[in-house]
Amino acid sequence: MSYSVGIGLTNACNLACAHCYRPTDRIDYVSFADIQTICEQLPVSNIGMGTGENILHPQFNQIVEYLHERTIKLSIASNGHSLMTMSDEHLRSFNDVEVSIDYPSRAQQDGMRGPGNWDLVLQAIERCQAQAVPVSILATLMCTNYHQMDELARLAQQLGVILRVNVYQAVRTDAYRLSYSQFWEAYQRLFSASRVVSCSEPLVRAVMGLGEVESPCGRTSIRFNMRGQIIPCVYWPLGSTNPLTIADLAIQGEAVMQHAFFEQARAVPSNAAACPCQGGCASRRALSGALADHDEYCPWARGDTIDLPWQPAPELNLVRGRNVCTTIVV
Ligand code: SF4
Ligand code: SF4
């Protein structure tokens, strides 16, 4: 078995978006030596870089070159800055890349991210397309844009790129959290305007009737934050339990997957054992302080039925396709 690794090389960023989950009390960097330890201790098939703006890591080039030489498939999520700043050679080292666009209009995007970001993300898409690097829009689905998922799908189609949607998780603030009805309206709108390449959001997958709702989180998917802490998901609340770190990985190897966080992420809540979604998203439950309960967006727990028509699209070989809770459409 090989692992899909997500890593925030740093939480440094040139922007300060209100919906961001990264900690801002101090700036940290995962060292190059730590990257080597991860690759030596785990069978890594792919690495997705996220959290901060990764090019702000002083050893970014060295890390990309090392991972590329090891033939690890690479992806990076960016607000446009990393994608516009790295060299052509480094850009082409990525299997595919993602640019964050949460709104289908300049005014809304710049309102969230700052003046000039709309132009920057469009330039980043053009640059990646010119370099023949597959590029996706990465959108965070929130209570402020749930009604625009169909517009975002059409924007991606106009730009000739893929759209990947992640559900907002209330790590730092509830201000962007979706209500139950907003959550499902968002997917109805999204699927009404697009075809589905893949969906690994466990709850949506269950409602789509796709089966295999068992989430990869804490099983084949492992996350390292900028402090070198090992977690099953970037949104996992650390609480009072000490997470393992890359120093522990150097000693324990794959046994780090037996840590309490990973056990909790894998466990199906007993009252959802008969539920088609098998408890949905563990981080969402943990963040709500209801790890042992149903996912707050579970329709079965409410006796509700969701009508979610969708059309399939051909498969695409994207780094983050099936290894985190995400929905990819064209
Ligand atoms: S660009 Fe991304 S990492 Fe930076 S503040 Fe915004 S959401 Fe956070
Ligand atoms: S489904 Fe998995 S990766 Fe996604 S937010 Fe939940 S725990 Fe994290």
One-letter amino acid at 235 equals Y
Which CATH superfamily, name and number, covers 3-267+310-329?
A: Aldolase class I (3.20.20.70)
The verdict on the CB of residue 15 being under 6 Å from ligand 1 is yes
CA distance readout (Å), 113 to 19, 52, 80, 245? 10, 14, 11, 32
Q: Residue 251 C-alpha to ligand 2 middle, in angstroms?
A: 27
Q: Could you tell me if the CB of 223 is within 6 A of ligand 1?
A: no
Beta carbon of 286 within 6 Å of any ligand 2 atom: no
State the amino acid at position 271 in one-letter form: N
Q: What pLDDT sits at residue 32?
A: 98
Report which ligand 2 atom has the smallest distance to the Cα of 283.
7
Say if ligand 1 is within 6 A of residue 52 CB: yes
The secondary structure element, H or E, covering residue 77 is strand 73-78
Indicate which ligand has the atom closest to the C-alpha of 53. 1
Alpha carbon nearest to ligand 2 atom 6, residue: 281
Can you give the pLDDT at residue 21? 94
Looking at residue 323, what is its pLDDT?
66
CA–CA dist 82, 255 (Å, integer): 34
What is residue 97's predicted lDDT score, i.e. its pLDDT? 97
- Under a CB-based contact definition with an 8 Å cutoff, are residues 216 and 323 in contact? yes
Per-residue pLDDT of the chain (330 residues; tens, 9 = 90+): 899 999 999 999 999 999 999 999 999 999 999 999 999 999 999 999 999 999 999 999 999 999 999 999 999 999 999 999 999 999 999 999 999 999 999 999 999 999 999 999 999 999 999 999 999 999 999 999 999 999 999 999 999 999 999 999 999 999 999 999 999 999 999 999 999 999 999 999 999 999 777 778 888 899 999 999 999 999 999 877 889 999 999 999 999 999 999 999 999 999 898 899 999 999 999 999 999 999 999 999 999 999 999 999 998 888 777 667 899 999
What lies within 8 Å, CB to CB, of 53 at 6+ separation is 10, 12, 13, 14, 15, 78, 79, 81, 82
Query: How much is the pLDDT for 266?
Result: 93
Domain extent listing, the chain = 3-267+310-329
Using the mean position of ligand 1's atoms as its centre, give its distance from the Cα of residue 211 in Å: 33
The answer for residues whose C-beta is within 8 angstroms of residue 52's C-beta and 6 or more apart is 8, 9, 10, 11, 12, 13, 22, 226
DSSP 200-241: --HHHHHHTT-------BTTTEEEE-TT-EEESSTT---TTS
**Residue 10 dihedral angles phi and psi, to the nearest 5°:** -155, 160
> In angstroms, how far is CA 295 from the centroid of its own chain?
18
The verdict on pTM exceeding 0.85 is yes
* Structure confidence at residue 216 (pLDDT): 82
Q: What is the pLDDT of residue 215?
A: 78
Ligand nearest to the CA of 77: 1
DSSP 131-190: TT--EEEEEEE-TTTGGGHHHHHHHHHHHT-EEEEEE---SS-STTPPPHHHHHHHHHHH
